[in-house]
Amino acid sequence: MKKPTRASAAKAKKGRKTSASRSKAAPKCPAKPSRRGAAAIDDTEATVCGLRSRLKEAERRVAELEAAADTDFLLEIPNRRGFERELGRAIAYMKRYRASGALIVLDVDRLKPINDSFGHAAGDEVLKAIAATLTQQVRASDVVGRLGGDEFALLLWNLTETDAKAKAAAFEQAIDELSFTFRGQSVTAGASAGVALLGAQSDAGRALEEADAAMYVRKAHRRHEPRIGWSVIRA
């Protein structure tokens, strides 16, 4: 038989050590009972097995709860907590790699009259349609979230100021064009959007304030536009 080289022998020895260490550090639950029978399985090993199983279940449950805490239960997109976390991560990335982006805060213009006239189920239908419309118009790397009530936020990567404003206008137009029929009446909602640019010097809280302020300025302007106000579409 050919004698193994020193290198291969050392490698085999190292592999045996690693395997032994792994086995010692994380004992696995025995697949079969020992020769002494199932009743004689070592108590310590059985305890470790049970604890590992419970830990795995606890970790799974924690992951589910964390995901639920960051997700809007109605729209299945990030809620304020989830969106602010994504925004913070994005800004940290931008600071490190000198990347850029835009934050758009968008407020639904006439959700309250819809809720008051047709009920909150109608308002929920409007919110779902708006969330779907926004999600369809962004890239996989972008983030659409609901800050609360009738207010949405969008985190968009690598946009110039001109592109960001154009994108905000496109979101407004897409939502303006949505129509709904409740109790035989066709109505529209509409939305107003404000933009804040993001970069290496950005702060998440400040960016949200700037985009929110810009949105309210835009909302005031849109009140004087012909499309603004309760809209009834005649068949």
Residue numbers annotated as active site: 150
The residues facing 194 across adjacent strands are 105
Phi and psi for 54 in degrees, rounded to 5? -65, -35
Q: What count of other Cβ atoms lies within 10 Å of the Cβ of residue 185?
A: 11
- Length of the chain in terms of residues written: 235
Contact assessment for residue 154 and residue 143, using Cβ atoms and an 8 Å cutoff: yes
- Comparing C-alpha atoms, which of 76, 27, 72 is closest to residue 52? 27
Contact assessment for residue 131 and residue 189, using Cβ atoms and an 8 Å cutoff: no
- CA dist., res. 204 & res. 92, Å (int): 10
- Comparing C-alpha atoms, which of 181, 177, 157 is closest to residue 169? 177
Per the listing, tokens 């050392």 go with: 10
- CA dist., res. 178 & res. 122, Å (int): 14
Contact assessment for residue 187 and residue 123, using Cβ atoms and an 8 Å cutoff: no
- CA dist., res. 185 & res. 44, Å (int): 70
Phi and psi for 128 in degrees, rounded to 5? -65, -40
